[in-house]
Amino acid sequence: MNDGPLVSICVPTYNSSAYLRRSLDSIAAQTYENAEVIVGDNASTDDTVSIANEYSVKYGFKVIVNDKNIGPLNNWNMLIGQAQGDLIAIYHSDDVYEPTIVEESVQVFRNNENIAVVGTMARVVDGNENKMYDYVLPDEIVRLDKDVYSFDDVMLGICKSGGQKTFFVTPSLMVKKNVYSEVGLFDARFRSAGDYEMWFRLSVNHKVAVLNKQLINYRIHENQGSELELRRNVELPDILTVVREYRQHITQNSIRELCDRFLDERILKAALKQNWQGAFDKSATTAKLAETGSYQALRVFLRIANGLHIKLKL
């Protein structure tokens, strides 16, 4: 298929040699032909660049190497600036893509010109590509019986995500380039949730589509940044900062109430984690951020435990 819009497939890399070939092979095997592939390396110290250059020779992929590490989100922004396509996908260097993900995503855009973002669901695999489980849409989203969503729908999907339920699979998303031009680039202030901040920003004034199909093999492995962060981070999760920032755009009271409960639950979970790791003052400060009357008993236990420096078992 080569009569559609040009798609820029951007692949940010940093010390990605372990899985890069599998990812680039899957991108090279796409059924959609009118695409450019740009690899943006963030000053890797392993064999990433030499591997990427192999694909430059074989398939004509463009390889850009940063002189220094500029951070992941700034690397994404650099790639967006280099993209020539009408549609931009930022595909990850450790994931494996089904051959039709680009073609099927483009078709959604062609069927509905009002859509700004298209994503898919994912098959979650381990470092050896053994299937662990499928990501699927939350039940509340499925019951809406549609595949084009408003901002309120997006917020519902995020607040009901957890475990095997999810709304956005970031490395599956494709976005219209002119929408990036309209809303701006990724904001590094939101750190690990900078992608979600962008998806919220896009969906405030634009429609979002999600293909309820597993068109990406999303790899979870020991060296993955998000996995390491989950183990080590005792700060308030960045996603909560993003949800609090965009809560004001919700129009339905029921979604706003759901969002508030989501925030309180996640805030108190973070406070419990801090308490268990002995950060009692930090835990007390975090717990005060919960703004509704939910989970009153847990708040009392936390206040007492932090005051007495008692660790509550998670």
Element (H, E) at 152: helix 151-159
Residue 84, pLDDT above cutoff 80: yes
What's the pLDDT band for 296 if we cut at 50, 70, 90?
confident
CB 61 within 8 A of CB 38: yes
Highest mean pLDDT among 94-108, 222-236, 260-274 belongs to: 94-108
Residue 301, pLDDT above cutoff 70: yes
CB 38 within 8 A of CB 1: no
The pLDDT value recorded for residue 226 is: 42
Over residues 303-313, the mean pLDDT reads 92
CA distance 108 to 120: 11
Weakest mean pLDDT among 61-75, 128-142, 236-250? 236-250
The pLDDT value recorded for residue 275 is: 93
Residue 250, pLDDT above cutoff 60: yes
Global model pTM greater than 0.95: no
Q: Which two tokens stand for residue 110?
A: 């062609």
User: To the nearest whole number, what is the mean pLDDT of the chain?
Assistant: 93
Element (H, E) at 73: helix 72-82
Over residues 167-184, the mean pLDDT reads 97
The pLDDT value recorded for residue 231 is: 38
Pairing of strands 115-125, 207-219: parallel
What's the pLDDT band for 183 if we cut at 50, 70, 90?
very high
The pLDDT value recorded for residue 227 is: 39
Instruction: Write phi, then psi, for 171 (nearest 5 degrees).
Output: -75, 10
For 102-221, where are the E strands, in sequence order? 115-125, 131-134, 148-149, 174-176, 207-219
For the chain, the domains span: 7-230, 231-308
What's the pLDDT band for 237 if we cut at 50, 70, 90?
confident
Residue 228, pLDDT above cutoff 50: no
The fourth-level CATH superfamily of domain 7-230 is Spore Coat Polysaccharide Biosynthesis Protein SpsA; Chain A (3.90.550.10)
